[in-house]
Structure 1
Amino acid sequence: MDDPSRNAGLPPLPAPLAAAFVAAAGGGGKRERTQAALVLAAVNVFCARGVAGATVQEVAQVAGMTPATVYNHFASKEALIERVALALAEGLSRAIGSSHAGVEDGAERMAIGQRRFLWLAAEAPAWALLLLDVGRANPTLGGLLQVYPLADLRLGLKQKRFKVPNEAAAMDAISGICMTGMQTVALGLAPPKHDIAIATVVLRALGMEAAEAAEVAKRPLPPLLTAEPEPGAAAAKRGRAPARRS
Protein backbone atom coordinates (compact mmCIF):
# COMPACT_ATOMS: atom_id res chain seq x y z
CA MET A 1 0.00 0.00 0.00
CA ASP A 2 1.23 3.52 -0.86
CA ASP A 3 2.23 5.79 1.99
CA PRO A 4 -0.09 8.86 1.91
CA SER A 5 2.41 10.78 4.02
CA ARG A 6 4.97 10.62 1.20
CA ASN A 7 2.42 12.10 -1.20
CA ALA A 8 2.04 14.96 1.30
CA GLY A 9 5.83 15.40 1.47
CA LEU A 10 6.06 14.05 5.01
CA PRO A 11 8.65 11.69 6.54
CA PRO A 12 7.86 8.00 5.79
CA LEU A 13 5.18 6.45 7.99
CA PRO A 14 3.53 2.98 7.87
CA ALA A 15 0.58 3.26 5.49
CA PRO A 16 -2.28 2.65 7.96
CA LEU A 17 -0.94 5.34 10.28
CA ALA A 18 -0.17 7.70 7.40
CA ALA A 19 -3.72 7.45 6.08
CA ALA A 20 -5.12 8.05 9.57
CA PHE A 21 -2.89 11.08 10.15
CA VAL A 22 -3.58 12.72 6.79
CA ALA A 23 -7.33 12.26 7.38
CA ALA A 24 -7.05 13.69 10.89
CA ALA A 25 -5.07 16.69 9.63
CA GLY A 26 -8.25 18.03 8.04
CA GLY A 27 -10.10 18.48 4.79
CA GLY A 28 -13.54 19.37 3.53
CA GLY A 29 -14.05 23.08 2.86
CA LYS A 30 -11.45 25.57 1.66
CA ARG A 31 -10.58 26.82 5.15
CA GLU A 32 -10.19 23.26 6.45
CA ARG A 33 -8.00 22.31 3.48
CA THR A 34 -5.77 25.30 4.09
CA GLN A 35 -5.43 24.39 7.75
CA ALA A 36 -4.60 20.81 6.78
CA ALA A 37 -1.86 22.05 4.44
CA LEU A 38 -0.42 24.15 7.26
CA VAL A 39 -0.50 21.18 9.66
CA LEU A 40 1.39 19.02 7.13
CA ALA A 41 3.91 21.81 6.53
CA ALA A 42 4.36 22.21 10.28
CA VAL A 43 5.12 18.50 10.60
CA ASN A 44 7.85 18.85 7.98
CA VAL A 45 9.39 21.83 9.74
CA PHE A 46 9.06 20.36 13.24
CA CYS A 47 10.74 17.13 12.13
CA ALA A 48 13.60 19.03 10.51
CA ARG A 49 14.12 21.80 13.08
CA GLY A 50 12.42 20.63 16.26
CA VAL A 51 9.33 22.30 17.70
CA ALA A 52 11.29 24.87 19.70
CA GLY A 53 13.47 25.89 16.77
CA ALA A 54 10.70 26.09 14.15
CA THR A 55 9.19 29.42 13.13
CA VAL A 56 5.85 30.39 11.63
CA GLN A 57 7.75 31.91 8.71
CA GLU A 58 9.35 28.53 7.92
CA VAL A 59 5.98 26.77 8.08
CA ALA A 60 4.49 29.36 5.73
CA GLN A 61 7.37 28.94 3.28
CA VAL A 62 7.02 25.14 3.19
CA ALA A 63 3.25 25.46 2.72
CA GLY A 64 3.72 28.00 -0.10
CA MET A 65 1.77 30.64 1.82
CA THR A 66 2.48 33.92 3.59
CA PRO A 67 2.95 34.23 7.35
CA ALA A 68 -0.21 36.37 7.35
CA THR A 69 -2.16 33.38 6.02
CA VAL A 70 -0.82 31.22 8.83
CA TYR A 71 -1.91 33.76 11.42
CA ASN A 72 -5.30 34.03 9.74
CA HIS A 73 -5.85 30.37 10.66
CA PHE A 74 -3.76 30.03 13.82
CA ALA A 75 -3.43 32.92 16.24
CA SER A 76 0.05 31.86 17.32
CA LYS A 77 2.73 29.23 16.91
CA GLU A 78 1.35 27.60 20.06
CA ALA A 79 -2.09 27.29 18.44
CA LEU A 80 -0.50 25.61 15.42
CA ILE A 81 1.42 23.21 17.70
CA GLU A 82 -1.84 22.31 19.44
CA ARG A 83 -3.50 21.58 16.09
CA VAL A 84 -0.60 19.28 15.18
CA ALA A 85 -0.96 17.61 18.58
CA LEU A 86 -4.65 16.96 17.92
CA ALA A 87 -3.91 15.47 14.50
CA LEU A 88 -1.24 13.21 16.01
CA ALA A 89 -3.66 12.02 18.68
CA GLU A 90 -6.58 11.54 16.29
CA GLY A 91 -4.38 9.88 13.68
CA LEU A 92 -1.53 7.87 15.17
CA SER A 93 -2.85 7.31 18.69
CA ARG A 94 -6.37 6.38 17.64
CA ALA A 95 -5.13 3.99 14.94
CA ILE A 96 -2.81 2.28 17.43
CA GLY A 97 -5.49 2.15 20.11
CA SER A 98 -8.07 0.74 17.71
CA SER A 99 -5.75 -2.12 16.73
CA HIS A 100 -6.62 -4.01 19.92
CA ALA A 101 -10.32 -3.13 20.09
CA GLY A 102 -11.25 -6.82 19.95
CA VAL A 103 -8.89 -7.91 22.75
CA GLU A 104 -10.73 -8.47 26.04
CA ASP A 105 -7.78 -8.92 28.42
CA GLY A 106 -6.73 -5.59 29.91
CA ALA A 107 -3.16 -6.79 30.42
CA GLU A 108 -2.80 -7.88 26.80
CA ARG A 109 -4.31 -4.60 25.61
CA MET A 110 -1.77 -2.69 27.66
CA ALA A 111 1.10 -4.74 26.23
CA ILE A 112 -0.12 -4.23 22.66
CA GLY A 113 -0.34 -0.47 23.11
CA GLN A 114 3.19 -0.29 24.52
CA ARG A 115 4.65 -2.46 21.78
CA ARG A 116 2.86 -0.56 18.99
CA PHE A 117 4.35 2.76 20.05
CA LEU A 118 7.82 1.21 20.14
CA TRP A 119 7.10 -0.36 16.76
CA LEU A 120 6.29 3.14 15.51
CA ALA A 121 9.65 4.32 16.83
CA ALA A 122 11.41 1.53 14.93
CA GLU A 123 9.47 1.95 11.69
CA ALA A 124 9.21 5.75 11.64
CA PRO A 125 11.73 7.27 14.07
CA ALA A 126 11.13 10.82 12.83
CA TRP A 127 7.45 10.54 13.73
CA ALA A 128 8.17 9.02 17.13
CA LEU A 129 10.57 11.85 17.97
CA LEU A 130 7.99 14.34 16.65
CA LEU A 131 5.36 12.82 18.95
CA LEU A 132 7.68 13.17 21.94
CA ASP A 133 8.72 16.71 20.97
CA VAL A 134 5.16 17.95 20.46
CA GLY A 135 4.12 16.25 23.70
CA ARG A 136 6.76 18.22 25.59
CA ALA A 137 5.66 21.48 23.94
CA ASN A 138 1.91 21.02 24.33
CA PRO A 139 0.21 19.28 27.27
CA THR A 140 -2.93 18.65 25.20
CA LEU A 141 -1.23 15.80 23.39
CA GLY A 142 -0.17 14.12 26.63
CA GLY A 143 -3.74 14.17 27.88
CA LEU A 144 -5.13 12.75 24.64
CA LEU A 145 -2.49 10.02 24.44
CA GLN A 146 -3.45 8.83 27.91
CA VAL A 147 -7.02 7.96 26.91
CA TYR A 148 -6.24 4.45 25.67
CA PRO A 149 -3.75 3.27 28.33
CA LEU A 150 -5.98 4.72 31.05
CA ALA A 151 -8.92 2.68 29.76
CA ASP A 152 -6.70 -0.43 29.60
CA LEU A 153 -5.42 0.21 33.11
CA ARG A 154 -8.93 0.50 34.48
CA LEU A 155 -10.01 -2.64 32.64
CA GLY A 156 -7.03 -4.55 34.03
CA LEU A 157 -7.83 -3.34 37.53
CA LYS A 158 -11.45 -4.39 37.14
CA GLN A 159 -10.34 -7.82 35.91
CA LYS A 160 -7.90 -8.07 38.85
CA ARG A 161 -4.99 -8.36 36.42
CA PHE A 162 -3.25 -5.30 37.88
CA LYS A 163 -2.51 -4.19 41.42
CA VAL A 164 -1.42 -0.58 41.82
CA PRO A 165 -1.51 1.73 44.84
CA ASN A 166 -2.63 4.76 42.86
CA GLU A 167 -4.07 5.30 39.36
CA ALA A 168 -2.23 8.55 38.72
CA ALA A 169 1.12 7.04 39.75
CA ALA A 170 0.45 4.02 37.54
CA MET A 171 -0.23 6.30 34.56
CA ASP A 172 3.00 8.20 35.19
CA ALA A 173 4.89 4.89 35.18
CA ILE A 174 3.17 3.72 31.99
CA SER A 175 3.80 6.99 30.15
CA GLY A 176 7.35 7.42 31.39
CA ILE A 177 8.48 3.91 30.50
CA CYS A 178 6.85 4.05 27.07
CA MET A 179 8.22 7.48 26.12
CA THR A 180 11.73 6.62 27.25
CA GLY A 181 11.57 3.36 25.33
CA MET A 182 10.34 5.14 22.20
CA GLN A 183 13.25 7.56 22.35
CA THR A 184 15.76 4.75 22.84
CA VAL A 185 14.38 2.87 19.82
CA ALA A 186 14.04 5.97 17.62
CA LEU A 187 17.67 6.91 18.28
CA GLY A 188 18.83 3.41 17.34
CA LEU A 189 20.10 2.60 20.83
CA ALA A 190 17.74 -0.25 21.74
CA PRO A 191 18.67 -3.96 21.83
CA PRO A 192 16.59 -6.54 19.92
CA LYS A 193 13.00 -7.15 21.09
CA HIS A 194 13.03 -3.98 23.15
CA ASP A 195 9.28 -3.61 22.60
CA ILE A 196 8.60 -6.90 24.38
CA ALA A 197 10.99 -6.00 27.19
CA ILE A 198 9.31 -2.61 27.69
CA ALA A 199 5.83 -4.17 27.71
CA THR A 200 7.04 -6.73 30.27
CA VAL A 201 8.43 -4.01 32.52
CA VAL A 202 5.17 -2.04 32.32
CA LEU A 203 3.11 -5.11 33.23
CA ARG A 204 5.47 -5.86 36.11
CA ALA A 205 5.13 -2.25 37.29
CA LEU A 206 1.36 -2.77 37.32
CA GLY A 207 1.70 -5.72 39.69
CA MET A 208 1.84 -8.79 37.45
CA GLU A 209 4.13 -11.69 38.28
CA ALA A 210 7.29 -11.96 36.17
CA ALA A 211 6.41 -15.15 34.26
CA GLU A 212 2.89 -14.05 33.45
CA ALA A 213 4.00 -10.57 32.40
CA ALA A 214 6.61 -12.05 30.05
CA GLU A 215 4.06 -14.42 28.51
CA VAL A 216 1.48 -11.69 27.89
CA ALA A 217 4.06 -9.24 26.52
CA LYS A 218 5.25 -11.59 23.77
CA ARG A 219 1.83 -12.58 22.42
CA PRO A 220 1.42 -11.90 18.66
CA LEU A 221 0.29 -8.39 17.79
CA PRO A 222 -3.11 -7.99 16.08
CA PRO A 223 -3.25 -6.41 12.61
CA LEU A 224 -2.95 -2.65 12.43
CA LEU A 225 -5.82 -1.28 10.38
CA THR A 226 -6.57 2.28 9.34
CA ALA A 227 -8.80 3.95 11.90
CA GLU A 228 -10.80 6.81 10.46
CA PRO A 229 -11.05 9.79 12.81
CA GLU A 230 -14.50 10.59 14.16
CA PRO A 231 -16.14 13.40 12.13
CA GLY A 232 -15.22 16.72 13.68
CA ALA A 233 -13.47 15.07 16.61
CA ALA A 234 -10.28 17.08 16.32
CA ALA A 235 -12.21 20.31 15.81
CA ALA A 236 -14.39 19.55 18.82
CA LYS A 237 -11.31 19.05 20.99
CA ARG A 238 -9.60 22.21 19.78
CA GLY A 239 -8.89 24.41 22.73
CA ARG A 240 -10.11 21.82 25.23
CA ALA A 241 -7.84 21.21 28.20
CA PRO A 242 -6.72 17.61 28.73
CA ALA A 243 -8.87 15.63 31.12
CA ARG A 244 -7.67 15.51 34.70
CA ARG A 245 -6.58 12.16 35.99
CA SER A 246 -8.35 10.82 39.03
Structure 2
Amino acid sequence: MSGEPPEQEGRVARRQRRNREALIRAASEVMTEKGMDGATMLEIAERADVGAGTVYNYFRSKDELAIAVLEEMMHDLALQIEKATAGIKDPAQVYAFGVRTVLEAATTDIRWKQMLYRSEVIADALYRRMGPFAIRDLRLGVAAGRFALEDAELVWRLTAHAIVGVSLAITTDVVPVGARNEVVVRLLCMTGIGTDAAAELVAGAERVREGKGGR
Protein backbone atom coordinates (compact mmCIF):
# COMPACT_ATOMS: atom_id res chain seq x y z
CA MET A 1 0.00 0.00 0.00
CA SER A 2 1.15 3.53 -0.71
CA GLY A 3 1.74 6.15 1.96
CA GLU A 4 -0.87 8.47 0.46
CA PRO A 5 -3.76 7.92 2.95
CA PRO A 6 -1.63 8.60 6.07
CA GLU A 7 -0.24 11.69 4.33
CA GLN A 8 -3.78 12.91 3.60
CA GLU A 9 -4.78 12.21 7.18
CA GLY A 10 -1.76 14.17 8.32
CA ARG A 11 -2.79 17.17 6.23
CA VAL A 12 -6.31 17.01 7.61
CA ALA A 13 -5.05 16.83 11.17
CA ARG A 14 -2.74 19.80 10.58
CA ARG A 15 -5.55 21.85 9.08
CA GLN A 16 -7.84 20.99 11.97
CA ARG A 17 -5.18 21.95 14.49
CA ARG A 18 -4.53 25.27 12.74
CA ASN A 19 -8.24 26.04 12.59
CA ARG A 20 -8.74 25.23 16.24
CA GLU A 21 -5.75 27.32 17.30
CA ALA A 22 -6.91 30.21 15.10
CA LEU A 23 -10.39 30.09 16.62
CA ILE A 24 -9.00 30.11 20.17
CA ARG A 25 -6.73 33.07 19.38
CA ALA A 26 -9.55 34.96 17.69
CA ALA A 27 -11.97 34.25 20.54
CA SER A 28 -9.40 35.44 23.07
CA GLU A 29 -8.96 38.72 21.17
CA VAL A 30 -12.67 39.37 20.64
CA MET A 31 -13.61 38.44 24.20
CA THR A 32 -10.90 40.75 25.53
CA GLU A 33 -12.19 43.60 23.39
CA LYS A 34 -15.93 43.11 23.80
CA GLY A 35 -16.43 40.72 26.68
CA MET A 36 -17.99 37.30 26.41
CA ASP A 37 -21.53 38.62 26.05
CA GLY A 38 -20.50 41.03 23.29
CA ALA A 39 -18.51 38.47 21.32
CA THR A 40 -20.30 36.53 18.61
CA MET A 41 -19.37 33.25 16.98
CA LEU A 42 -19.66 34.94 13.58
CA GLU A 43 -17.14 37.63 14.45
CA ILE A 44 -14.80 35.06 15.98
CA ALA A 45 -15.00 32.93 12.83
CA GLU A 46 -14.30 35.95 10.64
CA ARG A 47 -11.34 36.98 12.80
CA ALA A 48 -9.99 33.41 12.55
CA ASP A 49 -10.58 33.44 8.77
CA VAL A 50 -12.74 30.32 8.78
CA GLY A 51 -16.29 29.76 7.58
CA ALA A 52 -19.10 30.79 9.89
CA GLY A 53 -20.31 27.20 10.20
CA THR A 54 -16.82 25.76 10.61
CA VAL A 55 -16.51 27.00 14.17
CA TYR A 56 -19.22 24.55 15.24
CA ASN A 57 -17.13 21.65 13.96
CA TYR A 58 -14.72 22.44 16.79
CA PHE A 59 -16.84 24.02 19.53
CA ARG A 60 -20.50 23.35 20.20
CA SER A 61 -21.11 26.73 21.79
CA LYS A 62 -19.51 30.05 22.64
CA ASP A 63 -19.30 28.88 26.25
CA GLU A 64 -17.26 25.83 25.23
CA LEU A 65 -14.97 28.02 23.14
CA ALA A 66 -14.52 30.42 26.07
CA ILE A 67 -13.44 27.52 28.28
CA ALA A 68 -10.90 26.48 25.63
CA VAL A 69 -9.57 30.05 25.62
CA LEU A 70 -9.24 29.97 29.39
CA GLU A 71 -7.46 26.61 29.36
CA GLU A 72 -4.87 27.97 26.93
CA MET A 73 -4.46 31.04 29.14
CA MET A 74 -3.86 28.79 32.14
CA HIS A 75 -1.13 26.89 30.35
CA ASP A 76 0.49 30.11 29.11
CA LEU A 77 0.33 31.52 32.64
CA ALA A 78 2.07 28.41 33.98
CA LEU A 79 4.89 28.97 31.50
CA GLN A 80 5.11 32.64 32.52
CA ILE A 81 5.40 31.59 36.17
CA GLU A 82 8.15 29.15 35.19
CA LYS A 83 10.08 31.95 33.51
CA ALA A 84 9.58 34.42 36.35
CA THR A 85 10.78 31.93 38.99
CA ALA A 86 13.61 30.34 37.00
CA GLY A 87 16.25 31.73 39.34
CA ILE A 88 14.48 30.84 42.59
CA LYS A 89 15.87 27.75 44.33
CA ASP A 90 13.20 27.42 47.01
CA PRO A 91 10.29 25.35 45.59
CA ALA A 92 8.00 26.69 48.31
CA GLN A 93 8.63 30.22 47.07
CA VAL A 94 7.98 29.14 43.49
CA TYR A 95 4.68 27.57 44.51
CA ALA A 96 3.64 30.63 46.53
CA PHE A 97 4.40 32.93 43.62
CA GLY A 98 2.36 30.69 41.34
CA VAL A 99 -0.69 30.68 43.61
CA ARG A 100 -0.51 34.46 44.03
CA THR A 101 -0.17 34.97 40.27
CA VAL A 102 -3.10 32.72 39.44
CA LEU A 103 -5.34 34.45 41.98
CA GLU A 104 -4.47 37.84 40.52
CA ALA A 105 -5.13 36.68 36.96
CA ALA A 106 -8.48 35.17 37.93
CA THR A 107 -9.64 38.42 39.54
CA THR A 108 -8.31 40.92 36.98
CA ASP A 109 -8.37 39.39 33.50
CA ILE A 110 -11.80 39.86 31.91
CA ARG A 111 -11.64 36.47 30.20
CA TRP A 112 -11.24 34.76 33.58
CA LYS A 113 -13.72 36.95 35.42
CA GLN A 114 -16.52 36.31 32.94
CA MET A 115 -16.18 32.54 33.30
CA LEU A 116 -15.97 32.28 37.09
CA TYR A 117 -19.69 31.55 37.35
CA ARG A 118 -18.84 28.17 35.80
CA SER A 119 -16.82 27.51 38.92
CA GLU A 120 -16.81 23.71 38.82
CA VAL A 121 -15.72 23.57 35.18
CA ILE A 122 -13.09 26.28 35.59
CA ALA A 123 -11.67 24.74 38.78
CA ASP A 124 -11.32 21.39 37.01
CA ALA A 125 -9.57 23.09 34.08
CA LEU A 126 -7.23 24.87 36.48
CA TYR A 127 -6.44 21.61 38.23
CA ARG A 128 -5.63 19.87 34.94
CA ARG A 129 -3.81 22.60 33.02
CA MET A 130 -1.64 23.98 35.81
CA GLY A 131 -1.50 20.79 37.86
CA PRO A 132 1.70 19.37 36.35
CA PHE A 133 3.57 22.49 37.46
CA ALA A 134 1.91 23.02 40.84
CA ILE A 135 2.01 19.37 41.89
CA ARG A 136 5.68 19.18 40.93
CA ASP A 137 6.46 22.23 43.10
CA LEU A 138 4.48 20.81 46.00
CA ARG A 139 6.43 17.57 45.84
CA LEU A 140 9.73 19.43 45.55
CA GLY A 141 8.69 21.47 48.59
CA VAL A 142 8.11 18.28 50.55
CA ALA A 143 11.46 16.87 49.45
CA ALA A 144 13.18 20.10 50.54
CA GLY A 145 11.51 19.96 53.95
CA ARG A 146 9.51 23.11 53.26
CA PHE A 147 6.05 21.52 53.06
CA ALA A 148 4.45 18.78 55.14
CA LEU A 149 1.76 16.99 53.14
CA GLU A 150 0.99 13.47 52.00
CA ASP A 151 -1.01 13.96 48.81
CA ALA A 152 0.18 16.74 46.52
CA GLU A 153 -2.55 16.08 43.97
CA LEU A 154 -5.28 16.43 46.58
CA VAL A 155 -3.79 19.64 47.95
CA TRP A 156 -3.62 21.15 44.46
CA ARG A 157 -7.19 20.07 43.68
CA LEU A 158 -8.44 21.72 46.87
CA THR A 159 -6.37 24.82 46.11
CA ALA A 160 -7.65 25.07 42.53
CA HIS A 161 -11.27 24.95 43.68
CA ALA A 162 -10.56 27.42 46.47
CA ILE A 163 -8.88 29.86 44.06
CA VAL A 164 -11.87 29.84 41.73
CA GLY A 165 -14.37 30.15 44.56
CA VAL A 166 -12.63 33.04 46.28
CA SER A 167 -11.97 34.74 42.93
CA LEU A 168 -15.71 34.73 42.30
CA ALA A 169 -16.23 36.20 45.76
CA ILE A 170 -13.67 38.93 45.06
CA THR A 171 -15.09 39.85 41.65
CA THR A 172 -18.60 40.07 43.09
CA ASP A 173 -17.39 42.25 46.00
CA VAL A 174 -18.16 39.65 48.66
CA VAL A 175 -14.47 39.57 49.57
CA PRO A 176 -12.38 42.76 49.23
CA VAL A 177 -9.67 42.91 46.57
CA GLY A 178 -7.20 43.89 49.27
CA ALA A 179 -7.61 40.48 50.90
CA ARG A 180 -5.73 38.67 48.10
CA ASN A 181 -2.53 38.20 50.08
CA GLU A 182 -4.42 36.98 53.14
CA VAL A 183 -6.22 34.50 50.92
CA VAL A 184 -2.92 33.21 49.57
CA VAL A 185 -1.60 32.81 53.11
CA ARG A 186 -4.58 30.61 53.95
CA LEU A 187 -4.15 28.61 50.75
CA LEU A 188 -0.48 28.03 51.51
CA CYS A 189 -1.38 26.72 54.94
CA MET A 190 -2.87 23.70 53.15
CA THR A 191 0.72 22.62 52.47
CA GLY A 192 1.20 21.99 56.19
CA ILE A 193 3.18 25.12 56.99
CA GLY A 194 2.17 27.64 59.63
CA THR A 195 0.67 31.08 59.15
CA ASP A 196 3.95 32.91 59.78
CA ALA A 197 5.85 30.82 57.25
CA ALA A 198 3.04 31.26 54.72
CA ALA A 199 3.05 35.03 55.24
CA GLU A 200 6.80 35.06 54.65
CA LEU A 201 6.32 33.21 51.37
CA VAL A 202 3.64 35.68 50.27
CA ALA A 203 5.99 38.56 51.06
CA GLY A 204 8.60 36.84 48.92
CA ALA A 205 6.08 36.42 46.11
CA GLU A 206 5.40 40.15 46.23
CA ARG A 207 9.13 40.85 45.92
CA VAL A 208 9.31 38.60 42.88
CA ARG A 209 6.34 40.42 41.33
CA GLU A 210 8.11 43.71 41.87
CA GLY A 211 11.26 42.37 40.26
CA LYS A 212 13.25 42.34 43.46
CA GLY A 213 13.88 38.62 43.36
CA GLY A 214 13.21 35.88 45.86
CA ARG A 215 15.25 33.51 47.91
| TM-score class normalised by the smaller sequence | 0.5 to 0.7
CA pair 203-153 structure 1, distance change in 2 beyond 3 A: same
Identity of counterpart residues, as a percentage? Answer: 22
Equivalenced residue count is 192
TM-score using structure 1 length: 0.61
CA contact (8 A) 1:108 1:216 kept: yes
**1:58 Cα deviation from its structure 2 partner:** 6.2
Unaligned runs of 5+ in 1: 1-28, 226-246
Equivalent of 2:112 in 113, 128, 151:
128
**1:157 Cα deviation from its structure 2 partner:** 0.8
CA contact (8 A) 1:135 1:141 kept: no
Instruction: Please name the residue that 1:198 is paired with.
Output: 183
**1:101 Cα deviation from its structure 2 partner:** 2.3
TM-score using structure 2 length: 0.68
Instruction: Please name the residue that 2:148 is paired with.
Output: 163
Q: Does residue 135 of structure 2 align to residue 150 of structure 1?
A: yes
Letter in 1 for 2:208: P
Letter in 1 for 2:85: H
CA distance in 2, matches of 1:218, 1:224: 11
Name the SS of the counterpart of 1:48 in structure 2.
Answer: helix
Unaligned runs of 5+ in 2: 1-13
CA distance in 2, matches of 1:161, 1:105: 8
Q: Does residue 76 of structure 2 align to residue 91 of structure 1?
A: yes
Instruction: Please name the residue that 2:89 is paired with.
Output: 104
Name the SS of the counterpart of 1:218 in structure 2.
Answer: helix
**1:181 Cα deviation from its structure 2 partner:** 2.9
Q: CA RMSD in A?
A: 3.7
Q: Does residue 50 of structure 2 align to residue 60 of structure 1?
A: no
Instruction: Please name the residue that 1:222 is paired with.
Output: 208
CA distance in 2, matches of 1:179, 1:61: 32
Runs of 4+ in structure 1 off by over 6 angstroms are 29-33
**1:139 Cα deviation from its structure 2 partner:** 4.9
Letter in 2 for 1:185: I
CA contact (8 A) 2:100 2:181 kept: yes
Which structure: greater helix fraction?
2
Letter in 1 for 2:190: A
CA distance in 1, matches of 2:175, 2:143: 33
Q: Bigger radius of gyration, 1 or 2? A: 2
